[in-house]
Structure 1
Amino acid sequence: MNMIQKGETKHFVLVHGFCHGSWCWYKLAAALESKGCRATALDLAGPDRNDQLHRDSSSFSDYVRPLTDFLASLPGGERVVLVGHSYGGLAISVAMENFPAKISLAVFLTAYMPNCADPPASLIQEFFKRSSTKSFMDCEFTFDEDGVPLSAVFGPEYMATTIYRNCSAEDLEMGKKLIRPSLFFMKEMSKNGVVSEEKYGLVKRCYVICEDDDVMDEEFQRYNIEKSLPHEVISIEAAGHMPMLTKTLCLSSSLLQLSHKYY
């Protein structure tokens, strides 16, 4: 197998979080490409903003298929750096389980990072346990008969005061126009064995703590780290929840440094 050497072009695959899309990476992709890297931002499967969610026909494997199909299409020996933001941490984890040999490094960016002992849904449950209903402001949720969250879409007030608090007015308006509803896939994420030491555990992992994040606060980010120790942890000051927009150059430099260290 051809190994990625330090002097070779790095290929970053950027995976968005809940309710977002490839568009949120536009600044980071440009910053990485300006440094001679390749950057591929993918749209995970899901409805457009005005489409109705089809909960009965959707599965997590369908949701992540654009990512798994992309990895399957890579030429033999080519490896990439996966970057998963927020809920995107679960998406890249499934990709790591299925294609460990095609991933040189996985970076969890203020993200859910599962371990191999507990089902990934335990992290989502812990997140909701730490959050009050009031804190979600004007977000719209759907629940099953047992009160388990099925889907959600962010509200403009929540976006302005929480998710995009550190962002420019222009990026906030872009987000308001482009977000779409997303599913939690709690039933599938509640199963054991979603990730394993034999596959997921083979991939080198780094975690980027985003300070001043009002969505996934630093304490919760460190909870993810403690439950599933990565190879390295770095922090970005005053990043908020959208570091690809607020701390673009710092994040791109950090990703490059990590990719050269763990190649």
Structure 2
Amino acid sequence: MEMEAPADQASGKHIVLVHGACVGGWAWFKVATRLRDAGHRVSAPDLAASGVDPTPLREVPTFRDYTKPLLDLLESLPPGEKVVLVGHSLGGVNIALACELFPEKVAAAVFLSAFMPDHRSPPSYVLEKFVEGGTLDWMDTEFKPQDPEGKLPTAMQFGPLVTRAKFLQLCSPEDLTLGRSLMRVGSMFVEDLSVQPPYTEARYGSVRRVFIVLKDDNAIVEGFQRWMVQNYPVEEVKEIDGADHMALFSTPAELAHCLADIAVKYAA
């Protein structure tokens, strides 16, 4: 599915793509290219200790520190500019925090098979429910403390088995090789998020939200995606068939078209 570029380049929207844990802005390369070719402005920042950001994970003690590159991007926007924020996987919590701090700068928040906090519970709630539900077999994922005192968030690294079976099972061998070679140690920051207050209805809750369900996601399975929507209803739910967790790789044309439609609809 190809997108036609807007007749007026100025009609393109600013779409900010936020990656999940253990990857970086590079993971959006297929989607970002298609959106730019269609006339949209695209930003895909590396969060702290991710992608090519040189910060080691041990120097990122809080989720807000981890999100700082995204928050800096929003803070730098000129007055009156609004973006469409897209969060994938753990990136959903990053965009929720961004909406809480800068609701006036966000035209819509798009959760792509992403963890979506509500405004009643600590932001860790959806992560804790996900782990408790046991819908993901973590296989060869490694969880390790970063320091003997346990003051830093637990480090997480995906192994080759879980990557192939749960995250990229519908991707090409080339994409699997690329993904494995560029992954870094990350964290879900559950310890820090569990002591943060809920994001508020007045700020985070004021931003229009869209959820994109990935029908063949083996990591955050469809049932849990729909539970999150039921837990915190959104403006609109879209679906992509034949998309594994890394729809950024497996169905980039369909995903880019979906995001472009959302941007045109929600961004003035």
TM-score under structure 2 normalisation?
Answer: 0.88
Residue equivalent to 1:236 = 240
Inter-partner Cα distance in structure 2 for 1:53 and 1:232: 35
What CA distance in whole angstroms lies between the structure 2 residues aligned with 1:66 and 1:78?
18
Q: Deviation per CA, 1:204-237, whole angstroms, max 9, x where unpaired?
A: 1000000110000000101111111110001100
Displacement of 1:163: 0.6
Check conservation: 1:118, 1:192, Cα contact below 8 A: no
Superposition deviation, residue 120 in structure 1 = 1.7
Match of 1:198 in 2: 202
1:111 to 111, 114, 117: 114
How far apart in 1 are the matches of 2:21 and 2:51? 13
CA displacement 1:226-260 (0-9 Å, x = unmatched): 11111000110010101111111111111111122
CA distance in 2, matches of 1:158, 1:72: 36
Output the CA distance in 1 between the equivalents of 2:212 and 2:50: 29
* 2:220 is aligned with 1:216: yes
What does residue 3 of structure 1 align with? none
Query: Equivalent of 1:138, from 137, 140, 156?
Result: 140
Question: What is the percent sequence identity of the aligned residues?
Answer: 39
Which of 170, 173, 178 is the equivalent residue of 1:174?
Answer: 178
Q: CA deviation at 1:129?
A: 1.3
The CA distance in 2 between the partners of 1:80 and 1:220, in whole Å, is: 27
Secondary structure, aligned partner of 1:64: helix
Q: Which residue of 2 aligns with 1:129?
A: 132
Distance 1:130 1:104 in 2: 32
Work out whether residues 13 and 41 of structure 1, in 8 Å CA contact, stay in contact via their aligned partners in 2.
Answer: yes
Q: Which amino acid aligns with 1:136?
A: W
Q: In the TM superposition, what is the alpha-carbon distance from 1:187 to its structure 2 partner?
A: 2.6
Distance 1:153 1:177 in 2: 12
Q: Where do 4+ consecutive residues of structure 1 move more than 4 Å?
A: 47-52, 143-146
> Would you say 1:89 and 2:98 are equivalent positions?
no
Please give the TM-score of this superposition, normalised by the length of structure 1. Answer: 0.90
1:1-263 superposed matches below 5 A = 8-46=11-49, 53-54=57-58, 58-131=61-134, 135-142=137-144, 150-191=154-195, 193-263=197-267
| Kept after mapping to 1: 8 A contact 2:156/2:187 | yes
Greater mean deviation of Cα atoms: 104-113 or 185-194: 185-194
Cα distance 1:132–1:103, how it changes in 2: closer, same or farther (>3 A)? closer
Taking structure 1 as reference, are residues 145 and 240 closer, same or farther at Cα in structure 2, changes over 3 Å only? Answer: farther
* Equivalent AA in structure 2 for residue 105 of structure 1: A
**Preserved CA contact (<8 Å) 2:23 2:50:** no
RMSD across aligned positions (CA): 2.3
Counterpart Cα distance in 2 of 1:188 and 1:230: 26
One-letter code aligned to 2:211 = Y
Q: Which amino acid aligns with 1:86?
A: S
Counterpart AA for 1:139? T
Task: Measure the CA separation in 2 of the matches of 1:112 and 1:259.
Answer: 20
SS in structure 2 at match of 1:141: strand
**CA deviation map 1:155-207 (0-9, x unaligned):** 01111111111111111111111111112222321135341111101111000
Letter in 2 for 1:89: G
* Cα distance, 1:145 vs structure 2: 9.0
**Unaligned 5+ runs, structure 2:** 1-9
5+ residue gaps, structure 1? 1-6
Give the deviation of 1:124 after TM superposition. 1.0
Deviation at 1:48? Answer: 7.3
Aligned pair count reads 254
